[in-house]
Amino acid sequence: MKPINEEKIKFILNLKRKGIRDKEVLKAMETVDRKLFLDGIFKSRSEDDIPLPISCGQTISQPSVVAKMIEKLETNKSCKVLEIGTGSGYLTAILSKLSKRVFSIERHESLKKKAEWLLINNNFRNVICILGDGSLGIEYQAPFDRIIISAAAEDIPQILIKQLKYGGIMILPIGMSKDEQTLIKVRKEKSKIHYEEIFKVRFVPLLEGLPKIGNYING
């Protein structure tokens, strides 16, 4: 019999308390070990419901926010998903469990390489990691059933709306100030685009292009 992991039980109970109901999402959050995607002393805080630092001055997202984003994304095993802002690869791993194929874009080369290594070595095989500016999407792979962005933009990038299928869903934080960002759900229908505000969030900014070499340390 598998030993009961009390920290994991608390982790899942907290997600339920925060309103996460989808069984598949809860199962994926239980299966994917956040510790894998953290370094050094932060590994011991992996089951705390807080964002934590990763390299290049970025952060791994808060588990309850990740779970809400994925629940609202309504993925299924036939979805082709575009993720922008791979970061640690944690959300990518959860998406991998809940969709057919994930294309994940990161602008920091060292983060992209590390996440790619972790994902391959832990058997998340339906993921393709790409180095680039995610705000441009991937034209030659479009359209996507789902798009999810882990960095805040001032406005909804119109290029990405174009790369979303009719009937498709996009989840993203909008707002430039650190204190005034809102997580938005976009549903693209033939006749119109629907917007739903989910809740206030705090994400790193969606930046243009790739970082200049020497612009950051610890990468």
Q: Which of 25, 28, 73, 105 binds ligand SAH (CB under 6 A)?
A: 105
Q: Which of 46, 75, 88, 96 binds ligand SAH (CB under 6 A)?
A: 88
Q: Would you count residue 206 as binding ligand SAH (CB under 6 A)?
A: yes
Q: Would you count residue 75 as binding ligand SAH (CB under 6 A)?
A: no
Q: Which of 67, 81, 93, 111 binds ligand SAH (CB under 6 A)?
A: 111
Q: How far is the CB of 16 from ligand SAH (least distance, A)?
A: 21
Q: Would you count residue 67 as binding ligand SAH (CB under 6 A)?
A: no
DSSP β-bridge partners for residue 130: 105
Q: Which of 12, 79, 91, 184 binds ligand SAH (CB under 6 A)?
A: 91
Nearer to ligand SAH, 19 or 209 (CB): 209
Residue nearest to ligand SAH (CB): 87
Phi, psi for 90 (deg, rounded to 5): -65, -55
Q: Return the SS3 of 81.
A: strand
For residue 62 the two structure tokens come to 């808060």
Q: Which residues, 6 or more positions from 218, have their beta carbon under 8 angstroms from its beta carbon?
A: 55, 56, 57
Which of the following is catalytic: 46, 61, 64, 150?
61
Q: How far is the CB of 150 from ligand SAH (least distance, A)?
A: 4
Residues 157-186 within binding reach of ligand SAH (CB under 6 A): none
Reported as type and span, the H/E element at residue 184 is strand 181-188
Distance CA 32, CA 63 (A): 11
Which amino acid, one-letter code, is at 46? S
210 burial via Cβ count (<10 Å: 0-12, 13-18, 19+): middle
Q: Would you count residue 150 as binding ligand SAH (CB under 6 A)?
A: yes
Nearest 5 degrees, angle CA 202-CA 44-CA 179?
Answer: 10
Reported as type and span, the H/E element at residue 95 is helix 90-98
61 a catalytic residue: yes
Q: Tell me which residues touch ligand SAH (CB under 6 A).
A: 58-61, 84-85, 87-88, 90-91, 105-108, 111, 133-135, 150-151, 204, 206-207
Residues forming the active site: 61
